[in-house]
Amino acid sequence: MSEESEAEKPPITIKKYANRRLYNTATSSYVTLDNLATMVKEGADFVVYDAKSGDDITRQVLTHIIVEEENKGQNLLPIDFLRHLISLYGDSLQSVVPNYLDYSMKAFAKNQEQMRDYMQDSLGGLGPFGQFEEIGKKNAAMLEEAMKMFTPFVGGGPGAEGNEKPGGKKDKAKKTGGAKEDSEHMDDLRDQLKRMQRQIDELSGGGKG
């Protein structure tokens, strides 16, 4: 089977029943969360549906897998990160967070194999501390540039409250009404996301090749 046909292969369907059992329709067998975690690590694509309602519950199941992994002591999520993430629910920037996290993780993944190679080198006594520092600086710069894309919407940024000149956009927004202001903010936000994606692609080397 060619790579192209593999790419077009539909995701595996997993059904979750009322008794919380998960059924893999591709293998006609019941699976566990550990099995699904292994599938994710192997790059297998799957979607999970509630067997009764037909609702897509993939997000909930993947989140459950993360909770189970964290309970095993394999802690990847810092407490401060979790607290900050929780505080963003219901925030005006909530809609931006998923794309920002997705872009950041994809940029990190581009360096993932390189970091694994450095780890293997360290076992051979090559001492890759300088190489790790270089990667760390690159990733830090990437995230810093990405965060700068949001400065118009947070304190201290050029568009933050208190930074507008008298008679500028802030005063004009008050006169034209909240609906127009919200529309302008959404347009600005979309522009910032596009700029952020370009910045991340550039800083991470734009992919292989």
Q: What is the pLDDT of residue 146?
A: 60
User: Same domain, yes or no, for 98 and 178?
Assistant: yes
What is the span of the domain harbouring residue 54?
1-76
User: Same domain, yes or no, for 107 and 199?
Assistant: yes
User: Same domain, yes or no, for 166 and 72?
Assistant: no
User: What's the per-residue H, E or C state across the chain?
Assistant: CCHHHHHCCCCEEEEECCCCCEEECCCCEEECHHHHHHHHHCCCCEEEEECCCCCECHHHHHHHHHHHHHHCCCCCCCHHHHHHHHHCCCCCCCCCHHHHHHHHHHHHHHCHHHHHHHHHHHHCCCCCHHHHHHHHHHHHHHHHHHHHCCHHHCCCCCCCCCCCCCCCHHHHHHHHCHHHHHHHHHHHHHHHHHHHHHHHHHHCCCCCC
User: Same domain, yes or no, for 196 and 209?
Assistant: yes
User: Same domain, yes or no, for 65 and 117?
Assistant: no
Q: What is the pLDDT of residue 107?
A: 82
The number of C-alpha atoms within 13 Å of 180 and in the hemisphere containing its C-beta is 9
User: Same domain, yes or no, for 116 and 71?
Assistant: no
pTM over 0.75: no
Q: What is the pLDDT of residue 157?
A: 45
Cα–Cα nearest to 152, from 174, 195, 185: 185
174 exposure class (CB count in 10 Å sphere: 0-12, 13-18, 19+): exposed
Q: What is the pLDDT of residue 109?
A: 81
pLDDT digits (tens, 9 = 90+) for 130-180: 555 566 666 666 666 666 555 554 444 444 444 444 454 545 545 555 566
Domain end position, chosen among 33, 52, 76: 76
User: Same domain, yes or no, for 206 and 168?
Assistant: yes
User: Same domain, yes or no, for 63 and 87?
Assistant: no
**Within the chain, which residues score under 50 in pLDDT?**
1-5, 125-128, 153-166, 168, 170, 173, 207-209
User: Same domain, yes or no, for 93 and 59?
Assistant: no
How many domains does the chain divide into?
2
